[in-house]
Chains A and B, each alone.
Chain A
């Protein structure tokens, strides 16, 4: 890049470092192949299976173990993924389908597997997760559960045999993604457990969606500042981020997780907040229909406006004022945004990941003055395109919106319209390397950097954290050496 810069009349455009030359082996792709609608093959998928979401939910229960009715890989791969993201043990049981189960059905595996699990681990709640194999061979899980219960009562006695709660979540993986799996789990848990005692508990329900432990702690912080008590469904904060204090009791369970009694009490709350429309929205709607509890579905409180909205709604439901401490947090975020605006304004960004977090982040980057160029949700949803259009029209941007595509299309799109930063999960590392653009990690599948899950992205403080990451990434990549010395 030893090109002479003309002395007069240079624009920033000319100064911009050209990112485009790609690796030497790069061959331009067949144009017709790029849009995912034009092909049957899927390349670099950005979503995974329904059972994943249900297992995530099941692990969010105190002394809860998911039981997967399927082949062993259905569990192993998911446990690997959790281990890689959170660096924590993930206990998930499996029916160990072999050939006989695929031919004759999984009744025997389920009954004996469930018994083995209960006898050994004495869990409070078991999430029964189905898979493609069990759904296709047509395992009648409702009757299997009844039979298993009979066996438990016979072996362990009336009280102990009936103690463990069994929640069935139907998740044939060909019918949706992990987002839908979590959604279904939220509904299944509330349907199975929530009870109406016709007395208000003066609490709110929070269904967070697949957020990180740091995010859930941030929600708890905001609620505590407001002085509001809440039931958080699938509270993974003390499950996937636990202290190293060797336990003295067997079997090992993390301390955290939502208690069964709390889920039962969710039928008596003031309101339900499903922070992610597509991850938990079904649960909130169920409570609304069944117990007439008002449901607030989405948006995820990322950035200024969406966090404002969340706090406003909380305040409106409970009658409590937003305290000065949170207003100061807001002020600090605004100050930070003002102080860093010369790094963020008019910078081009691309966002990908799960639909709700992408919507939230898109809003926040717009608030930062950045220009979203391409926005992709790995899972197709009914409202994603509208949601994004509504946000960007407010800020006058016109990004390419991909609703339910794969990373191949996303990458090819970015080759046509250069960006300065990509925001998404670890699956985007290759794109980032290929294009020479920094990747700011956000979303569920961040497994190539440590500690991400400990820090929040939501709320005002999460916004500060995320903004710092974003600006530092731009600084690391986007400036010639001399300009990194001072800001």
Chain B
């Protein structure tokens, strides 16, 4: 892509100034009406300190909260060690602990032995998920067969999750693998349930710091019942009957979208998109649901009460935050909806980036950003530093790893997924605003 492009007589830079020359096409500036979206879903350039992770990371991230299920990591011990902590929560993980012997002679036998052991000794569980990591993926263990044999021998359901780290360009591949596992092995196993008139699933909601509780109670006040939230709160039972609902609400497109579309195709469950982040977005989502279920009045009442409960404080935050300049570096596909939350508080978004967002996500973000804003894909550490030096942002939002780099350069940082409390709904939005203000106002930044 050329660095400069002539548009209607005047020269407008199209290249994002802090982006690496070799990765120029991974970023665009919104200068023209026709969207030019950043290149995405590509292989990572090696050696540039990308923030992306692997398919196993993605699958683990997606499937970790699944209850009544043994999570067995088939691979060297470390993959299990790291996979214990997901979204700041700790889970019990089992490992086959592959050693040199298995790498040479094959790990299938050990896997089979472990599966039988687990089935015999944890009879209370409903299934075993076998995560396949790089090592068994490359030596070619037939995990499918081991699972089948263990299933025949014990009666315990054994489900392989084929997620060796080198699959796909980023952790998004793992999310998709996880979603496929749920679709193929868990969703729709129990047809005996008659769906309640106001039953819904929320797809792509991860219950970070109690978000789900907020959403659940908001919907309950409208009169809507959440059966499962994939994968914030799921069990084998709730998934088995997940197709017996009236509607699916897609919260995060990248992970929820696939399940929603498949469930529509297989079981005819319709879906709508909705976000509970930000006042306007929450209002819209509640209205849309009220419309769908013919609960308009209840929805309007919840909206009115919600807005009234936070409006005064929000005004105060808005006054203090207006005009502050922010750089956003998110993981995935909620950039579009998250962006709106920042704009709602009057913050000026300088750049919206994601590690593994897709075309649709950038499309959504493009519509929401002001001219001059940069959209970037897979920002690496060097580019982040260059961004800070060129743009001098007031605050940055992003993942845990970027936080300390930003701090070293004296820039306040808020972490996503958040570490303090729920950000969803009306009261959550207050938390969100308070967190930004808190990092901005910290006296320490004035002493540097």
B51 at interface by CB-CB < 8 Å: yes
* Most A-side CB within 10 Å, residue of B118, B166, B171: B166
A251 with B47: in contact, given A70-B165, A102-B166, A244-B448 (CB under 8 Å)?
no
> Is the beta-carbon distance between B49 and A91 smaller than 8 angstroms?
yes
Interface residues of A in 244-286 (CB under 8 A from B): 244-247, 250-252
> Is the beta-carbon distance between B166 and A80 smaller than 8 angstroms?
no
> Is the beta-carbon distance between B46 and A95 smaller than 8 angstroms?
yes
By a CB distance below 8 angstroms, the chain A residues around B114 are 40-41
Pick from A80, A102, A136, A429: contact of B103, CB under 8 Å: A136
B382 at interface by CB-CB < 8 Å: yes
A77 to B389, CA, bound (A): 27
A73 with B56: in contact, given A242-B408, A244-B408 (CB under 8 Å)?
yes
A120 with B382: in contact, given A41-B94, A72-B54, A101-B166 (CB under 8 Å)?
yes
Tell me the smallest distance from the CB of B355 to a CB of chain A, in Å.
Answer: 10
Q: Quick one: CB contact mask for B359-377 with A, threshold 8 Å, 1 for yes? A: 0000000000000000000
By a CB distance below 8 angstroms, the chain B residues around A87 are 404
Pick from A45, A74, A115: contact of B54, CB under 8 Å: A74
> Is the beta-carbon distance between A99 and B408 smaller than 8 angstroms?
no
A71 at interface by CB-CB < 8 Å: yes
By a CB distance below 8 angstroms, the chain B residues around A136 are 103, 134-135, 138-139
By a CB distance below 8 angstroms, the chain B residues around A99 are 166-168
* Most A-side CB within 10 Å, residue of B46, B78, B409: B46
Q: Quick one: CB contact mask for A80-119 with B, threshold 8 Å, 1 for yes? A: 1101100111111111111101100000011011111100
A48 at interface by CB-CB < 8 Å: yes
* Most A-side CB within 10 Å, residue of B20, B81, B90, B137: B81
A245 to B444, CA, bound (A): 12
A99 to B169, CA, bound (A): 9
> Is the beta-carbon distance between B82 and A246 smaller than 8 angstroms?
no
Tell me the smallest distance from the CB of A457 to a CB of chain B, in Å.
Answer: 23
Interface residues of A in 30-78 (CB under 8 A from B): 30, 33, 39-45, 47-49, 51-52, 67, 70-74, 76-78
* Most A-side CB within 10 Å, residue of B168, B403, B408, B409: B408
Pick from B77, B97, B134: contact of A131, CB under 8 Å: B134
By a CB distance below 8 angstroms, the chain A residues around B43 are 96, 98
> Is the beta-carbon distance between A102 and B113 smaller than 8 angstroms?
no
By a CB distance below 8 angstroms, the chain B residues around A187 are none
A54 to B76, CA, bound (A): 16
A278 to B134, CA, bound (A): 27
By a CB distance below 8 angstroms, the chain B residues around A127 are none
B183 at interface by CB-CB < 8 Å: no
> Is the beta-carbon distance between A96 and B50 smaller than 8 angstroms?
yes
> Is the beta-carbon distance between A41 and B117 smaller than 8 angstroms?
yes
Interface residues of B in 389-428 (CB under 8 A from A): 389, 400-401, 403-405, 407-410
Which of these binds chain B: A159-167, A171-179, A316-324, A338-346? A171-179
> Is the beta-carbon distance between B47 and A133 smaller than 8 angstroms?
no
By a CB distance below 8 angstroms, the chain B residues around A79 are 401
A133 to B103, CA, bound (A): 11
Interface residues contributed by chain B, number (CB under 8 Å)? 75
> Is the beta-carbon distance between B385 and A115 smaller than 8 angstroms?
no
By a CB distance below 8 angstroms, the chain A residues around B100 are 172, 174-175
By a CB distance below 8 angstroms, the chain B residues around A92 are 49
A121 at interface by CB-CB < 8 Å: yes
A52 to B389, CA, bound (A): 31
A430 to B85, CA, bound (A): 13
By a CB distance below 8 angstroms, the chain A residues around B80 are 42, 45
A116 with B45: in contact, given A48-B77, A70-B134, A174-B102 (CB under 8 Å)?
yes
Tell me the smallest distance from the CB of B301 to a CB of chain A, in Å.
Answer: 39
Tell me the smallest distance from the CB of B60 to a CB of chain A, in Å.
Answer: 9
Q: Which residue of chain B lies nearest to A245 when distances are taken between CB atoms in the complex?
A: B448
A55 to B96, CA, bound (A): 24
B52 at interface by CB-CB < 8 Å: yes
A71 to B43, CA, bound (A): 12
> Is the beta-carbon distance between B49 and A41 smaller than 8 angstroms?
no
A49 with B54: in contact, given A71-B166, A89-B405, A116-B48 (CB under 8 Å)?
no
A137 at interface by CB-CB < 8 Å: yes
> Is the beta-carbon distance between B117 and A113 smaller than 8 angstroms?
no
Tell me the smallest distance from the CB of A479 to a CB of chain B, in Å.
Answer: 29
Q: Quick one: CB contact mask for B25-57 with A, threshold 8 Å, 1 for yes? A: 000000000000000000111111111111111
By a CB distance below 8 angstroms, the chain A residues around B400 are 80, 83-84
> Is the beta-carbon distance between A94 and B96 smaller than 8 angstroms?
no
Tell me the smallest distance from the CB of A185 to a CB of chain B, in Å.
Answer: 16
A173 with B78: in contact, given A41-B72, A112-B47, A133-B138 (CB under 8 Å)?
yes
A44 with B92: in contact, given A76-B57, A89-B401, A132-B76 (CB under 8 Å)?
yes
> Is the beta-carbon distance between A77 and B92 smaller than 8 angstroms?
no
Q: Quick one: CB contact mask for B98-123 with A, threshold 8 Å, 1 for yes? A: 11101100000010011001100100
B386 at interface by CB-CB < 8 Å: yes
Pick from A48, A112, A131, A174: contact of B81, CB under 8 Å: A48
Q: Which residue of chain B lies nearest to A429 when distances are taken between CB atoms in the complex?
A: B90
By a CB distance below 8 angstroms, the chain B residues around A173 are 76-78, 135
Sorted nearest first, the 8 A-B pairs with minimum C-beta distance are A73-B54, A49-B78, A113-B46, A113-B47, A71-B165, A116-B47, A76-B53, A77-B82
Report 19 cross-chain contacts, Cβ distance below 8 Å, ordered by A residue: A40-B110, A41-B94, A41-B96, A43-B92, A44-B84, A49-B77, A72-B44, A76-B57, A91-B381, A93-B48, A94-B46, A97-B165, A98-B167, A110-B46, A112-B46, A120-B48, A132-B133, A132-B135, A174-B102
